[in-house]
Amino acid sequence: MTGLDRLPVWGRLILTIGAGLLGGYVFYLLRLPAPWLSGALVGSVLLIVTGVKPVMPDPVRDLGMLFAGALTGSAITPEMLRALERYPLSLVILALTTLAIVFAGRLALVRLFGWDRTSAMFASVPGALSAVIAAVSETRSNMLPIVAVQSFRMFVLVAVLPSATLLAVREVNTAPPEIIGALPFALMMVAAVLVAWLFQALRIMAPFLLGGMAAAGLLHVTGLITGSPPVAIVSLAMVIVGVYAGSRFSGLDFQTVRSLFLPGILLLVVTVAVAALGALLTARLANVPLPEAFVAFAPGGLEAMVVLGLAMGLDPLYVSSHHVARFVMIAAALPFLARRASG
């Protein structure tokens, strides 16, 4: 035990959040996509390396999940729904492709590496790390290998590939998002808390993530509230989720890293291959330009893929609507898939 481990819980919590903020800020300065999520994850893992065990109380974790859900729900706007109406066949193929990725990855992990079906299912889910973290926390599955292989894929697809593309683009013209006012934001979060408590009472998995998403989505799609949550709230939510995921690496050692390397490579190959096939099929059957289909089907994070699409001059509504739709589908389906896989 180090001297820092003797700090009271609140002191270690401040240290834990501080490590996540520092990691997120470094990733932000490096202009990596999803910096506050992936950077916070790395920051908390580095804290473990120094001998300090991160602290993440359940109420703080739930707050981060609630904010992350509200962020996703805020993207479900009337404009987004109108965009979805233009691409029904593309969305059907996206849903089938997502299912194919999950079941192909699960099959490979179970047959080749002896993983249990539930952990293999969680590890195979593409492009929805915060939803996976929320769902795993509600089960008895070991989060460490799941987050490890998910994070490996995220770093390759969300950080390395999009960043390399963005480096070749001098300037990306994006309109700043409309920010929700203080009062509407407060009302939205009150509604989110109430829905989350209802979901918790109904024993729905990941109630705070899904509750925040359901409340914010309903308020936005009806036009009662418009705009995105404040940037500071969004960043804090991603930091909390990232730190929580990183804190699960406290049992990580070289032997574990070595045992997860091949599963991580396998899932990366399976994910990219199946997503590419889905994109090719969509381009052929739905008359969608191939670059747009590839970016819309890519199994990276929502924000990273939307920025990448903008940098490439692609249709932003097509790309963003598909990533939002996939995230919503995954977040809604994970509780049922988890119960079915563990049953």
* pLDDT tens track for 77-88: 888 888 778 889
Tell which wins on pLDDT, 91 or 130. Answer: 91
Say what the pLDDT of residue 44 is.
87
The reported pLDDT for the residue numbered 321 is: 83
Query: 313: left (phi > 0), else alpha (psi -120 to 50), else beta?
Result: left
Give the SS3 label for residue 228. strand
Kindly provide the b/e burial profile for residues 69-80, where b requires at least 16 CB atoms within 10 angstroms of the residue's own CB.
Answer: bbbbbbbbbeeb
- 136, 209, 211, 320 from 142: Cα distances, Å: 8, 20, 24, 32
pLDDT digits (tens, 9 = 90+) for 223-267: 899 988 888 888 888 888 888 877 777 766 777 778 888 998 999
For the cut 90, the answer to whether the pLDDT of residue 215 exceeds it is: yes
Domain annotation covers residue 136: yes
Nearest alpha carbon to residue 238 among 333, 158, 125 = 158
pLDDT on residue 152: 78
Query: Residue 343 — very low, low, confident or very high, per pLDDT cuts 50/70/90?
Result: low
* Tokens at 280, concatenated: 């090719």
- Indicate whether 182 belongs to any domain: yes
Domain membership flag for residue 325: yes
Sign of CA dihedral 101, 103, 108, 113: positive
- 329-341 residues labelled b (16+ CB within 10 A) or e (exposed): bbbebbbebbeeb
The Cα–Cα gap between 284 and 30 comes to 37
173 has pLDDT over 50: no
| Count of helix runs (H) and strand runs (E) in the chain | 16, 0
Q: Could you tell me if residue 207 is inside a domain? A: yes
pLDDT confidence bin for 144, thresholds 50/70/90:
confident
| Predicted local distance difference test score (pLDDT) of residue 11 | 76
The per-residue pLDDT for 171 is 46
Overall average pLDDT of the 163-178 stretch: 52
Is the Cβ–Cβ distance between 208 and 201 less than 8 Å?
Answer: no
* Higher per-residue confidence, 133 vs 190: 190
Tally of domains within the chain = 1
- pLDDT given at position 128: 76
- Rounded mean pLDDT of the chain? 82
- DSSP three-state, residue 176: coil
pTM: predicted TM-score of the whole model, two decimal places = 0.72
Structural domain of 324: 58-166+177-245+256-342
What residue type is assigned to position 253 of the chain? Answer: D
Instruction: Assess if residue 154 is contained within a domain.
Output: yes
Q: Is the dihedral of CA 80, 189, 28, 131 positive or negative?
A: negative
Percentage with pLDDT > 90 across the chain:
24
Quick one: pLDDT at residue 301?
65
**Residue pLDDT, tens place only, 283-327:** 999 988 888 888 889 887 665 566 566 556 677 778 878 888 898
pLDDT of residue 186: 94
Cβ-contact 122, 29 below 8 angstroms: no
pLDDT of residue 273: 92
**Tokens of residue 146, six digits:** 């799941």
Residue at 49 is within a domain? no
The verdict on residue 3 lying in a domain is: no
The answer to whether residue 25 sits within a structural domain is no
pLDDT of 327-339, one tens digit each?
888 888 887 766 6
How many beta carbons lie within 10 A of that of residue 342, not counting itself?
14
